[in-house]
């Protein structure tokens, strides 16, 4: 562990300070959370009401073929409702972004997706068995009749295939075997799958067509969802990109295996962005530009430029090294609540792994703290993997940042977030050694999910309350 306590030098403020982003404070977050939760529960209650109004309870007690049918209908209704939220949760709708946060939305998106598909599968099986029992036909024959004779079922079958593809490639083992770019492209087929499945629900579903009010409700709900996607995932990012006209101004190496990209544009001081937030970036430099990549800011926004940094580990990051100055950039964002406004105290403990150091350096640059009140721990596999070393050195020299490099292969044992060279330490003890007054620190984490989980475990063992631990994920 290396540490400096030099007296900070005066820091000159930029001529035009950037506009502060709208960051949700705890009380406001509670209000947004209640609003988002209320929307989910109200629509869920509406689903149950539709099922009850359609005679669901009576059919359930009949203990015959209609019991299978009503269970199938209920699974279909709940699946449709979850499918709605599966789309809405990733549509960047403000009420959900501010209510649940990006990390919470990411976890919910994954959980809701798998449950929606499981219930959708149960819906198909139960309805097939129920109709087959009622008509005294082979279930395979009944399934064939569904596909070929019922309106919208051919489209729904194609949509089911696409949704199955998305689910299969989202399993952790399958996803690790795919490049991020390939996985992201396949994941987008989920939108098409939903679009193909919806007509069947609205044209032939008994609970969708039995009452005109129910039909209006579902059409409005899905129409609003489609509008949200178009507005918040397409319209707003396009308007913001055109307004600020971002272009690449410099591409530089960052460490042995990293690259930093700096962009300039128009009136960036008016962009509501904070250190710790991220954008989805698209560089208009040729084939493949449509694939967006999430990168956090690697430097505090100064009103004149935006900088990102990444380790070169795949096609998406490798492309960054070859981007030429002058290349136009499209952005979605800014997103995220892992900013200095989340702090509840004065002191900072910033713990990052790999490229996760980038937003932490930006946070350290923007946040207010006295010499010795901020500590940065960075986990890398080798010394050559380290990013943002020049920026870290400036923070050490000018502001008294305490910096420690944790380098080496992963340690075995109860604290796998540590390198093997520190395997003699227990994680909580090391944290207390680095920050003896740990309870007075706000802790910011950024790195791979399993690594952050291990750090959280040791922070909890060290007595740090969860309200003082701030982390965010932007991957599904």
d(CA 431, CA 438): 8
- For the domain made up of 26-236, give the CATH fold: 1.20.120
pLDDT at position 29, please?
A: 66
Buried b (16+ CB within 10 A) or exposed e, 165-176: ebbebbeeeebe
List Cβ neighbours of 469 (8 Å cut-off, separation of 6 or more). Answer: 443, 445, 456, 459
Where are the CATH 3.40.50.80 domain residues in the chain? 339-471
Buried b (16+ CB within 10 A) or exposed e, 76-92: bbbbbbbbbbbbbbbbb
Preceding peptide of 334 cis, ω within 30°: yes
pLDDT at position 247, please?
A: 96
For 242-335, CATH number?
A: 2.40.30.10
pLDDT at position 325, please?
A: 94
User: 3-state secondary structure string, 149-169?
Assistant: HCCCHHHHHHHHHHHHHHHHH
pLDDT at position 20, please?
A: 47
DSSP-H helix ranges across 136-235: 139-149, 153-170, 172-176, 180-204, 206-209, 212-229
| C-beta separation of 313 from 267 below 8 A | no
Antiparallel, parallel or unpaired: β 258-264 and 247-253:
antiparallel
The strand order across the sheet containing 293-296 reads 293-296, 278-283, 329-335
CATH number belonging to the domain at 339-471, selected among 3.60.21.10, 3.40.640.10, 3.40.50.80, 3.40.50.300: 3.40.50.80
Whole-prediction pTM value? Answer: 0.76
pLDDT at position 12, please?
A: 31
DSSP helix/strand/coil, 402:
strand
pLDDT tens series, the chain, 476 aa: 443 333 332 333 233 334 444 444 556 667 777 888 888 888 888 878 877 777 778 777 777 888 888 888 888 888 888 888 888 887 788 888 777 777 778 778 778 888 888 888 898 889 889 888 888 888 888 888 877 877 767 777 777 777 777 777 766 666 666 666 666 666 666 667 777 776 676 666 666 666 677 777 778 888 888 898 899 888 999 999 999 999 999 999 998 889 999 999 999 999 989 999 999 999 998 877 877 888 999 999 999 999 999 888 765 677 788 899 999 999 998 988 888 888 888 899 999 998 999 999 999 999 999 999 999 999 999 988 899 999 999 999 999 999 999 999 988 888 999 999 888 889 999 999 999 989 889 999 999 888 999 999 999 999 999 889 998 765 54
pLDDT at position 1, please?
A: 43
Where are the CATH 1.20.120 domain residues in the chain? 26-236
The strand order across the sheet containing 441-446 reads 2-3, 402-407, 374-380, 347-353, 441-446, 469-471
pLDDT at position 223, please?
A: 84
Q: Encode pLDDT of 212-224 as tens digits.
A: 777 777 788 888 8
pLDDT at position 473, please?
A: 65
List Cβ neighbours of 294 (8 Å cut-off, separation of 6 or more). Answer: 278, 279, 280, 281, 474, 475
| C-beta separation of 33 from 27 below 8 A | no
- Based on its alpha-carbon atoms, the radius of gyration of the chain, rounded to whole angstroms, reads 26
């Amino acid at each position: 562990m290396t540490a400096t306590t030099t007296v900070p030098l005066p820091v000159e403020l930029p001529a035009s300070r950037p506009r502060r982003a709208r960051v949700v404070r705890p009380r406001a977050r509670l209000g947004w959370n209640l609003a988002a939760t209320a929307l989910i529960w109200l629509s869920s209650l509406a689903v149950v009401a539709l099922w009850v109004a359609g005679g669901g309870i009576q059919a359930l007690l009949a203990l015959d073929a209609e019991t299978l049918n009503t269970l199938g209908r209920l699974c279909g209704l709940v699946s449709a409702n979850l499918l709605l939220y599966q789309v809405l949760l990733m549509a960047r709708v403000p009420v959900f972004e501010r209510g649940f946060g990006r990390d919470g939305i990411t976890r919910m998106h994954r959980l809701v997706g798998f449950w929606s598909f499981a219930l959708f599968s149960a819906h198909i099986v139960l309805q097939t068995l129920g109709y087959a029992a009622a008509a005294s036909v082979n279930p395979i024959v009944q399934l064939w009749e569904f596909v070929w004779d019922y309106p919208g079922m051919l489209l729904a079958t194609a949509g089911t295939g696409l949704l199955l593809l998305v689910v299969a490639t989202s399993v952790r083992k399958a996803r690790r075997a795919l490049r991020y770019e390939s996985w992201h492209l396949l994941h987008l087929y989920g939108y098409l799958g939903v679009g193909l499945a919806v007509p069947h629900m609205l044209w032939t579903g008994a609970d969708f067509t039995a009452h005109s009010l129910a039909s209006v409700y579902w059409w409005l709900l899905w129409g609003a969802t489609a509008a949200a996607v178009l507005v918040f995932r397409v319209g707003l990012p396009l308007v913001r990109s055109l307004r600020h006209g971002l272009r690449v101004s410099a591409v530089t190496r960052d460490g042995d295996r990293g690259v930093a990209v700096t962009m300039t544009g128009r009136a960036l001081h008016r962009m509501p962005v904070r250190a710790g937030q991220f954008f989805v970036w698209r560089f208009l430099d040729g084939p493949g530009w449509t694939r967006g990549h999430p990168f956090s800011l690697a430097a505090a926004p100064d009103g004149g430029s935006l900088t990102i940094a990444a380790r070169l580990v795949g096609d998406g990051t490798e492309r960054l090294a070859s981007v030429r100055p002058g290349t136009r950039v499209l952005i979605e964002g800014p997103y995220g609540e892992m900013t200095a406004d989340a702090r509840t105290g004065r002191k900072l403990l910033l713990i990052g792994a790999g490229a996760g150091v980038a937003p932490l350096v930006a946070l350290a640059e923007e946040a207010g703290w006295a010499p010795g009140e901020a500590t940065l721990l960075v986990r890398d596999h080798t010394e050559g993997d380290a990013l943002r070393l020049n920026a870290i050195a400036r923070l050490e020299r000018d502001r008294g940042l305490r910096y420690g490099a944790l380098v080496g292969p992963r340690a075995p044992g109860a604290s796998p977030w540590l390198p093997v060279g520190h395997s003699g330490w227990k994680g909580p003890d090391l944290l207390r050694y680095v920050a003896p007054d740990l309870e007075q620190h706000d802790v910011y984490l950024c790195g791979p999910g399993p690594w952050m989980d291990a750090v959280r475990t040791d922070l909890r063992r060290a007595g740090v309350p969860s309200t003082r631990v701030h982390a965010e994920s932007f991957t599904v």
